[in-house]
Structure 1
């Protein structure tokens, strides 16, 4: 009984954190996408900063989330996501000195790996938090988008930040769906108690 109460309390605290975390991830991604489609597409220096900042932000977000939910030692998939995202930010900075195609190729590899790690994290969280189907879909779609990026990077099409922006937009959408779904799940979970 004590173990059940402990699990229930852990899930409640964890869900409260995840709701805030997902809403923040949505907001940051939405702002990034808006800037990418407007100001950054005509300002290459800003676009370059944003292209480095996006995986760097992902690394920071994974680090903070893992620390708030048991630490990096208990969240290996997030530890790997943190490392991969940090290395990606560095690789993008280097690729920017080469070409936008090289940047897109780096983004492609990152999208595949980070998508798989996100999928693993969401599957693991399902037991405690539930409502992780959107994060699982997001991880799978990220991996598929990564393959598409790598193929596109090898072509002759002009590449820019707007090629990455739809990927970030889908990420923002899935974070919003996950946050809202957790809110709805909490309401549904509490409703029988209210009826009693």
Structure 2
């Protein structure tokens, strides 16, 4: 059965998109556990940048696949991430416990939307199982963050970094999975052609 050129192109785009998100998340984690923990101003900026970047990334994803109307889960994710950026700015003026609570609520909602997006894309694109797992884990971590936010211990950006690291891992896994799948398809397509020429 011949490949669907449109589906193949979308998978190629998603591969690049997932790898970009993995790279950005990886850089964020590295910055968070180094300068973010020692320089409060940089740590605060990183905490604002994380949900803001998620909003931008979801806008790009939604526009690439037909806009907000055709991609309601990404559109909702954009709204939640923008609101979260503002909420983090307010929470930073109060305490890191408040910031962690905001991140927890956001992680739970963003995870739900990511899971829904993965399910919606299941039939048309590869590697969505990783996105579904990532979304489910994000929801669980979000609930954990909300519980930890009410504890007497004062959290820091280093407590949020592992969440971002797992996100980077799942995006990297998805990108690599799509790359390997594409290479296998090309190999399978080329094999009959080579055999025919050898006859």
TM range (shorter): over 0.9
1:184 to 171, 180, 187: 180
1:189 is displaced (CA, Å) by 2.0
1:23-38 equivalences in 2 (<5 Å) = 23-38=19-34
Residue equivalent to 2:197: none
CA RMSD of superposed structures (Å):
1.3
Regions of 4+ moved over 4 Å:
none
Residue equivalent to 1:132: 128
1:191 is displaced (CA, Å) by 2.2
Segments of 5+ residues of structure 2 without an aligned counterpart are 193-199
1:73 to 54, 58, 69: 69
Residue equivalent to 2:53: 57
Distance 1:75 1:182 in 2: 21
1:60 is displaced (CA, Å) by 0.3
User: Helix, strand or coil for the counterpart of 1:135?
Assistant: helix
- Contact conserved, 1:134 with 1:177, CA < 8 A, in 2? yes
Count of matched residue pairs: 192
Q: Which has the larger radius of gyration?
A: 2
- Contact conserved, 1:131 with 1:185, CA < 8 A, in 2? no
Distance 2:188 2:63 in 1: 33
Structure 2 residue 100 is the aligned partner of structure 1 residue 104: yes
1:174 to 170, 174, 183: 170
